[in-house]
Amino acid sequence: GESVGLHLPTLSVQEGDNSIINCAYSNSASDYFIWYKQESGKGPQFIIDIRSNMDKRQGQRVTVLLNKTVKHLSLQIAATQPGDSAVYFCAETSMEYGNKLVFGAGTILRVKS
């Protein structure tokens, strides 16, 4: 199927390993962050979110870490599976952005079987 982001950074991991996808956000006033997953030929799908008053949040097999000091966000995927192969986007929002989401460029995750 079609895909976007052909020039994005790529992370290749072995099936079963843990994946860490990083994102540097731009606005120190951002107070809400989301990770989206976009599979080939599909729209972005919400994975997990975190507010700025937290530094860690866990979901099913995914964990988001927020380091406000260095404006860094990461998504950890445990026991990566072939179905995790996709483009992953972080997004930030703040009052300064009118509460609109601002998206990062994305990272391609390739899972090797």
Partner 1 sequence: ETGVTQTPRHLVMGMTNKKSLKCEQHLGHNAMYWYKQSAKKPLELMFVYNFKEQTENNSVPSRFSPECPNSSHLFLHLHTLQPEDSALYLCASSQPGTPKNTIYFGEGSWLTVV
Binding site for partner 1 (CB under 8 A): 2, 4-7, 32, 34, 36, 41-46, 49, 51, 89, 93, 98-101, 103-106
**Tokens linked to 32:** 């809400």
| Smallest distance, partner 1 to C-beta of residue 102, A | 8
- Cα–Cα distance, 64 to 15 (Å, whole number): 20
| Smallest distance, partner 1 to C-beta of residue 35, A | 11
- Cα–Cα distance, 54 to 110 (Å, whole number): 29
Cβ distance to partner 1 smaller for residue 85 or 107: 107
- Cα–Cα distance, 113 to 17 (Å, whole number): 11
Cβ distance to partner 1 smaller for residue 13 or 50: 50
